[in-house]
Amino acid sequence: MAIEATSNDLVQVVTLLTAAVVAVPLFKKFGLGSVLGYLSAGLVIGPWGLKLFTNPNAILHVAELGVVMFLFVIGLEMRPLHLWGMRRDIFGLGTLQILACTTLLSLIGVALGLSPLYSFVGCMGFVLTSTAVVMQLLKERGELGLPKGQKIVAVLLFEDLLIVPLLALMVFLSPETGEVTVSYWASMGIAIGAVGLLVAAGIWLLNPFFRLLAAAGAREVLTAAALLVVLGAALLMQMSGLSMAMGAFLAGVLLAESSFRHQIEADIEPFRGILLGLFFIGVGMSLDLGLVLGSWRNILIFVMLLMVGKAVSIYLIARVTKSDHHVAIERALLMAQGGEFAFVLYAAAAHEGLIPAEINAQFTAIVVLSMALTPLVVVVAKPFLKKFGCVYRGRRSSSKPFKLCAVDWLWSFWSSRQSTFAGEEFRHHNY
């Protein structure tokens, strides 16, 4: 029996790797990106495709470590002083974007017939952007280190900080609880204490720890130590109620000044890539096509309106905070989807009796569809943005204006028509 079980596990591993190896190069060849390739592969081999896998959640739980390691690598590239310099974007821009998106999406939900409570719970899951999707798209576009990419990272970090308050809010809204205040403040205290413990360990323990291991001269031990740091930080944050990705990111930041930074990044990179790909495959598997096909009109309407509403909110906040037009459009397109934390939030809301199981399943399907559509939307929108001059094309001086984009193009067209009309009037009256 043990041999059969091992053989079955090996078959599943081979199936996952084969799906990734076939789908990703094919999708990248047609310019559709690796994320869409992974998602499609998961849909094909999942419960609603070839039925080679029946429990996508098991894969998601393991593959979430890919997101964790991705954030760790991002942290390695951000020195503490640089992160401190981002505090206005993290707390200022992040707060404005969350408030604007929450307000507009809640109103959209109510307008579509949801109760105010259902609408609020649904929109809060949709407001929190998918770190995995956005980070991967930014990496493929080479924009993680650019200022516009750093602003997106800042908002994603702020959204990770909201996890504990939002889970506590689900408990607060529950009709079945009476001791919310104490548990809320206890959760906040534990979370703050865990962050403090991680920061202290990073300052006084990590560098001596890696120097000691480097003296042993065993490369594989350093690789194991890097994995230990990533997974240990993630576990500490998870136990304190925060996201694992936040713990890994902080660990990366604390090692950013280390002389071992490049070696650690090289050791982690292969694990990050494979596990992140498996995460996207798991997301593709988890899409409940039966539910989608059963109420496809409602789900499609919700997906489109919520994505458009979130994109509009993000664009307006970007413009209010003085981002350029093309930067605001790109940010809106990249962040218009719901995120993986929505699965946790909806499950918590269902557990507290705030939403029924059917609504939970529909909200989850909406978020998964939005995650799957985002890479496609980015690909489809690119030629249109290029046509209207809204996509960055090489270097140029910041003092030079952008090429005309959609709004400016329409204004230019209208003005030219008015000028033509005025010229015709001038000739007609022989002025």
Q: Is the pTM of this model over 0.85?
A: no
* Angle, in degrees to the nearest 10, between helices 147-161 and 94-111: 70
CA–CA dist 249, 71 (Å, integer): 5
* Total number of residues shown for the chain: 431
The residue with greater pLDDT, 184 or 380, is 380
Model confidence at 170: pLDDT above 70 = yes
Q: Return the sign of the alpha-carbon dihedral for residues 20, 266, 155, 63.
A: positive
Lowest mean pLDDT among 34-43, 129-138, 416-425: 416-425
Closest among 404, 405, 386 to 394, alpha carbons compared: 386
pLDDT digits (tens, 9 = 90+) for 212-237: 888 877 778 888 888 888 888 888 88
Axis-axis angle for helices 180-204, 219-239 (nearest 10): 160
| Cα gap 151→331, rounded to integer Å | 9
How far apart CA 268 and CA 356 sit, in angstroms, is: 41
Return the CATH fold of 2-428: Na+/H+ antiporter like fold (1.20.1530)
DSSP letter at 394 equals S
Structure token digits, residue 227: 């994995």
**What's the pLDDT band for 7 if we cut at 50, 70, 90?**
low
Residue 164: phi, psi to the nearest 5? -60, -50
Distance CA 138, CA 73 (A): 14
pLDDT tens for each residue of 381-423 = 877 776 655 554 433 333 333 333 444 444 344 444 444 433 4
Residue 326 pLDDT grade (very low, low, confident, very high; cuts 50, 70, 90):
confident
pLDDT value at 99 more than 90: yes
Q: Are 53 and 285 in contact (CB under 8 A)?
A: yes
- C-alpha separations of 69 from 62, 80, 88, 249, 333 in Å: 12, 18, 25, 8, 25
Q: For residues 314-333, give the mean pLDDT.
A: 90
Q: What percentage of the chain has pLDDT greater than the value 90?
A: 12
- pLDDT-derived band at 106 (thresholds 50, 70, 90) equals very high
pLDDT value of residue 108: 93
Residue 413: per-residue pLDDT: 43
**Mean pLDDT score of the chain, rounded to an integer?**
79
For the chain, the structural domain boundaries read: 2-428
